[in-house]
Amino acid sequence: MTGIIQPGALVVACVVLIAVPGPSVLFVFGRALSHGRDIALLTAVGNAIGCYAAGVIVAVT
């Protein structure tokens, strides 16, 4: 039986994990600040392609 503490802790943990940006977001944000919007968009596209490729490789092997 769960009390009020467990669901509350789960909600807090989920909010923290969603709110904290990961390394990819920070990298794209940093590129946007230093190089501008166009470079940041290309960085985001490249990151998405890399993540997709890694997912495909993991799924295949």
Domain spans of the chain?
21-60
Looking at every residue in the chain, the average pLDDT score rounds to 90
Rounded Cα distance, 55 and 27, in Å: 20
The structure's pTM equals 0.66
Per-residue model confidence as pLDDT tens digits over 15-36: 888 888 888 889 999 999 999 9
- Show the DSSP H helices in the chain as ranges: 5-19, 23-35, 37-60
Mean of the pLDDT values across residues 38-56?
94
Give me the pLDDT at residue 2, please.
Answer: 66
